[in-house]
Amino acid sequence: MPNHPDIMDKLVSLAKRRGFIFQSSEIYGGTGSVWDYGPLGIELKRNLQERWWQEMVRSRENVEGLDSAILMHPRVWEASGHVSGFVDPMVDCKNCKKRFRADDPKIKGTPGTPDGQCPACGMKGTLGAPRQFNLMFKTFMGPVEDSASIIYLRPETAQGTYVNFLNVQQATRQKVPFGIAQIGKAFRNEITPGNFIFRTREFEQMEMQFFVEPGTDMEWFEYWKAERMRWHRSLGLMENRLQFHQHGEDELAHYARAAFDVQFDFGGSLGFQEIEGIHNRGDFDLSQHQKFSSKKLEYFDQGTNKRFTPFVVETAAGPNRILLAVLVNGYREESVAGEDEGRVVLGLQPALAPIKAGVFPLVKKDGMPEMAKKIAQDLRPSFPVFYDDSGAIGRRYRRQDEIGTPFCITVDGESAAANTVTVRERDTLQQERVSTDSLREYLLKRLTA
Ligand code: GAP
């Protein structure tokens, strides 16, 4: 029995209707497993990314930021092991032309033999024998399409950090142990993408590579494991929906000596799934790049007069998956005392919510719209607000509840004379009268609480 119900279909519909997430190129029938972030989605994603950057870079003296390019020298991916090792075994159906991972539990019988049965068209004996399928997107650089111009879209941001290890270290004069963090796009030609934005072919990563002296790596690994779990909890993700999963020998990526996933329980049959990986990559990547580029990527410790290739502890998170976790975690349907209609609420943390306050005139007369518009305009430079004067006030509250807006400000009959407004809190539904002059400070304090 799943611990939590499956709410994915409801979320996909809400996300589209309210402008969080749209299918890419929808008017042409959509692009498989690629998604666009609408006005609310991009606010939420940026809030998550800024939260990560603040936590991982700005608040630490031993972590530096970087933004390396998506396109890199093709030898990078030979050195990193991605050309030979970033593969999944897959099978094709000769009848319906569909493609599956060879270990897809829906496949009956053995692919490549007469009893292998296609899970899509149901034909027997049409599945080919498993072949290795590389997950990297390949394209050409420059006007000539030959093997010399092949280039890859990066499948992880980490390699851009490794090849810049000495650039950053020398420019910042950081001493090992120190880290380099970046946020950027990554691409994987996943064989079985799906579950909305959970597994897509274009996505983002927030990765940090922490360079340490060999021998101290497991200590730092434990440190970063704890730090990253603490961060996920700080987003308001429920304690009982978070857990660690340790990779067994057969799960470890080609570069990893040890790995733990932070998993979130997405509910339904998806259940607990990875939202971040913490990896001990040893000296695999730096050593490989030294070998392939013939350039030294060593660190000289002036204190001990020792020269060594650092080990790397990596924290690799996906903002798209974390965004989905935050939506799943916050979604609830509830009845409201004294009202016939229930409400849908996105219980997002105020600091993460895309819109911080709705601003409404109670009715469209007696100067209320003018006063409400002025309040919205005055607040807008400080945080995103939404002015709404259409429909009954109850409906306007519901529209904000559904997108996670923590506060609704209403200008009513008393407002002009008393210079006050009501502030309604999303979760408790409590209303407080607040002076217009102190409204901004009042909200700012509650938004960061
Ligand atoms: N540099 C190490 C690395 O890339 P990973 O576990 O393959 O490790 C890290 O990826 C994170 O990137 C995952 O925890 C997940 O959040 C995100 N991610 C990976 N593949 C993804 C995909 N196809 N769609 C969305 N997010 C993905």
Please write the tens of the pLDDT for every residue from 211-244.
999 999 999 999 999 999 999 999 999 999 999 9
Using the mean position of ligand 1's atoms as its centre, give its distance from the Cα of residue 406 in Å.
31
Residue 32's pLDDT is: 82
Mean pLDDT rounded to a whole number for the chain? 96
Q: Whose CA is nearest to atom 12 of ligand 1?
A: 318
Task: Identify the residues whose C-beta falls under 6 Å from ligand 1.
Answer: 156, 158, 188, 190, 199-200, 203, 205, 207, 274-277, 314, 316-318, 320-321
**Predicted confidence band at 2 (pLDDT cuts at 50, 70, 90)?**
confident
Pairing state of beta strands 385-387 and 357-361? Answer: parallel
Burial class (CB in 10 A: 0-12, 13-18, 19+), 94: exposed
Give one word for 398, left, alpha or beta, with left for phi > 0 and alpha for psi -120 to 50.
alpha
Q: Whose CA is nearest to atom 18 of ligand 1?
A: 318
**Longest distance between any two alpha carbons in the chain, whole Å:** 84
Average pLDDT over residues 282-289: 98
Q: Whose CA is nearest to atom 25 of ligand 1?
A: 199
Residue 143's pLDDT is: 87
Residue 449 above 80 pLDDT?
A: no
Using the mean position of ligand 1's atoms as its centre, give its distance from the Cα of residue 404 in Å.
27
Residue scoring higher pLDDT (1 or 180) = 180
Residue 3's pLDDT is: 84
For residues 71 and 153, is the Cβ–Cβ distance under 8 A? yes
Percent of the chain whose predicted confidence (pLDDT) is above 90: 90
Residue 159 above 80 pLDDT?
A: yes
Using the mean position of ligand 1's atoms as its centre, give its distance from the Cα of residue 200 in Å.
10
Q: Whose CA is nearest to atom 16 of ligand 1?
A: 318
Using the mean position of ligand 1's atoms as its centre, give its distance from the Cα of residue 408 in Å.
37
The string of pLDDT tens digits covering residues 138-157 is 999 998 888 889 999 999 99
Mutation pick for ligand 1 pocket among 35, 266, 274, 278 (CB with most ligand atoms within 8 Å): 274
Residue 204's pLDDT is: 98
**Residue 215 Cα distances to 226, 282, 299, 311, 330, angstroms:** 19, 10, 15, 8, 41
The string of pLDDT tens digits covering residues 356-404 is 999 999 999 999 999 999 999 999 999 999 999 999 999 999 999 999 9
Token reading at 244: 């660690």
Q: Which atom of ligand 1 is nearest to the CA of 193?
A: 23
